[in-house]
Chains A and B, each alone.
Chain A
Amino acid sequence: MSQDFVLETQGLIKEFKGFTAVDDVNLQVQRGHIHALIGPNGAGKTTCFNLLTKFLTPTHGKILFNGTDITRQSPTDIAKMGMVRSFQISAVFPHLSVLDNVRIALQRKLGTSFHFWKSERSLDVLNDRAMALLEEVDLAKWADTVTVEMPYGRKRALELATTLALEPELMLLDEPTQGMGHEDVERVMALIKKVSVGRTILMVEHNLHVVSSLSDRITVLQRGAVLTEGPYEEVSRNPQVREAYMGSEAA
């Protein structure tokens, strides 16, 4: 096997007091892919996701990022290594301006984040880069809006811009189109497609339309275990998968 995996799990298990939420999951995310993690409600997608991003600690198993064992690292550490996650509900800083949201992500690299004696004007050097990122997600004209006043779809776009600011090698998106209207879904899909160039993306997603048109590879989870894995055409033909979704998807 000479394939290049950015993220790999080996026998990942998470137990909550007698209940196994994630059961022996071996996941391999290839570099440059958009990899989707799907499954019916309660299949353990989000738990799996939280394990990968270290917000939960696995009971057994290993997680490898670029071949390095990160099973015991903290969420802060893996973010610094270039693995950045998003959240199911939009993760923005609601009472800060849109520009500030992106600047907060950019600011870490300046190395002055503990400098409480410095003026915040020392952060103005980041404004151009922040504006460029906002431009990329069509938010430039919202730059000085207080984030909480933006519509939901825009907040998700902002979240994406904030994540991009860290120039992550691997982006983990937790249901990027959840709770969105049709138009917003299309916009976010186009955005994900755009930013996926030169990056690896792992996403949890409910919307099969999104999954089918974006992802290179799909892993289907059911009751915490991997049901099947492969490209969309292959997975969607699998009778077990169809059953799991109870025919709700006629593709």
Chain B
Amino acid sequence: MTTQVLNSRVNKTMNKTKLSFLILLLVGLVAPFAIYPVFLMKLLCFALFACAFNLMLGYGGLLSFGHAAFLATGGYITGHTIMQWGLTPELGVLAGTLCSAGMGFIFGKLAIRRQGIYFAMITLALSQLVFFLYVQTPFTGGENGLQGIPRGELFGLFSLEGNLPMYYFVLAVFVIGFAVIYRTIHSPFGQILKAIRENEPRAVSLGYDVDKFKLVAFVISAALAGLAGSTKSLVFQLASLTDAHWHMSGEVILMTLLGGVGTIFGPIVGAATVVTLQNYLSQGPLASWVPVILGLIFVICVLLFRSGIVGEIQKFMKKNFN
């Protein structure tokens, strides 16, 4: 009987989440008619990036300070394969994603044995290594980056040159990426991942090889960060060093913390907030103050609402409507 009660409760929360998904999807479908599509695409790319990062921090309990490397790798590989090999956009994006996954595997292999600050430092060091590699190697175009990446034709059939078709392509990519993350969290694998986050020695004593679980999670996270980078390079038709810089690794941490670590919608809200702020502030008189304002918000977030925007809303709902 208890199991049934439990199941019905689980189903209720599942339905609520499903309803939120549906509403978000509808909003996503009509949004480009109200808001500038390029801005929306940028937002979606960063939201996916933050969600991928959140899988590692929020569900794996590991703070990676090197996710910029995966974002950049996705972008460069996609740009290169489309420009030099003439791949169609979906294949270019796939290539970028796979290369990021491969890089994630190498990073993970080297870093996962360490915990906490050491894990963060190793991932940072490795991503700096990748940064300097990309400054030097000719295929990235160095300081200039890869410019004028053609958006091409999806499956060789549908042109993505217009902003509206491109937007729906990005939306589809985002939905797929988000679905992968959601399923990963709510899978047998996700259960063990949560167990490891909650109490690692106990997970070991139950016979789970925790390093392998962390590695798989890291590769998934890296692949999805790469997917975000690949898609972004198509949107802006540009792959540049900005994506590889450690600022980017910091920014994704900010987005995730601001939105709410370990919540499914938190990174999306966080990414939306940061991207919107950057966009609007950079047009006004406060343009040169953007980093300061973001920093200030970050400090306030850490001091006052540590569980992030979505985390605080969830707490509030629980307190008042349960």
Q: Find B206's partner among A94, A108, A123 (CB 8 Å cutoff).
A: A108
Closest to A106 in B: B206
Which of the segments B83-91, B196-204, B242-250 contacts the partner chain?
A: B196-204
Chain B residues near A64 (CB, 8 Å)?
Answer: none
Chain A residues near B208 (CB, 8 Å)?
Answer: 76, 108, 113
Chain A residues near B187 (CB, 8 Å)?
Answer: 115-120
Residue A249 CB within 8 A of the other chain: no
A174 smallest CB distance to B (angstroms): 10
- Let me know if B209 and A94 touch, CB within 8 A: no
**Among residues 203 to 226 in chain B, which have CB atoms less than 8 Å away from a CB atom of chain A?**
203-210, 212-213, 216, 220
Kindly state the separation between the CA atoms of A84 and B184 in the bound complex, as whole angstroms: 28
Which of the segments A20-28, A95-103, A185-193, A198-206 contacts the partner chain?
A: A95-103
Closest to A103 in B: B191
Q: Find A144's partner among B9, B189, B204, B210 (CB 8 Å cutoff).
A: B9
Size class of the A contact interface (CB-based, 8 Å):
35 or more
Kindly state the separation between the CA atoms of A92 and B205 in the bound complex, as whole angstroms: 11
Closest to B206 in A: A105
With A115-B189, A116-B216, A118-B188 in contact, do A53 and B3 touch (Cβ < 8 Å)? Answer: no
With A144-B5, A144-B6 in contact, do A76 and B189 touch (Cβ < 8 Å)? Answer: no
Residue B2 CB within 8 A of the other chain: yes
With A107-B188, A119-B187, A143-B6 in contact, do A91 and B204 touch (Cβ < 8 Å)? Answer: no
Residue A141 CB within 8 A of the other chain: yes
**Among residues 1 to 23 in chain B, which have CB atoms less than 8 Å away from a CB atom of chain A?**
2-3, 5-7, 9
A-facing mask of B176-192, CB < 8 A → 1, else 0? 00000001101111111
**Among residues 121 to 146 in chain B, which have CB atoms less than 8 Å away from a CB atom of chain A?**
none
Closest to B196 in A: A93
Q: Find B205's partner among A85, A93, A100 (CB 8 Å cutoff).
A: A85
B46 smallest CB distance to A (angstroms): 23
Kindly state the separation between the CA atoms of A113 and B201 in the bound complex, as whole angstroms: 17
Closest to A80 in B: B207
Chain A residues near B190 (CB, 8 Å)?
Answer: 116, 120
- Let me know if B216 and A96 touch, CB within 8 A: no
- Let me know if B188 and A91 touch, CB within 8 A: no
- Let me know if A114 and B216 touch, CB within 8 A: yes
Chain A residues near B212 (CB, 8 Å)?
Answer: 114
Chain A residues near B216 (CB, 8 Å)?
Answer: 114, 116
With A107-B191, A113-B189, A114-B213 in contact, do A91 and B3 touch (Cβ < 8 Å)? Answer: no
Kindly state the separation between the CA atoms of A114 and B212 in the bound complex, as whole angstroms: 9
Kindly state the separation between the CA atoms of A80 and B207 in the bound complex, as whole angstroms: 5
Chain A residues near B191 (CB, 8 Å)?
Answer: 100, 103-104, 107, 113, 120, 123
Complex A-B: 6 CB contacts under 8 Å: A93-B202, A104-B191, A116-B220, A119-B183, A141-B2, A143-B3
Q: Contact residues of B with A, CB < 8 Å?
A: 2-3, 5-7, 9, 183-184, 186-192, 194-195, 198-199, 201-210, 212-213, 216, 220
- Lowest 10 CB-CB distances: which A-B pairs, in order? A79-B207, A116-B189, A93-B198, A91-B202, A144-B6, A116-B184, A80-B207, A112-B188, A120-B186, A104-B195
Apart from A55-B201, A117-B187: 13 A-B pairs, beta carbons within 8 A: A53-B205, A80-B207, A91-B205, A92-B199, A94-B199, A96-B195, A107-B192, A116-B189, A117-B183, A119-B186, A119-B187, A122-B188, A123-B188
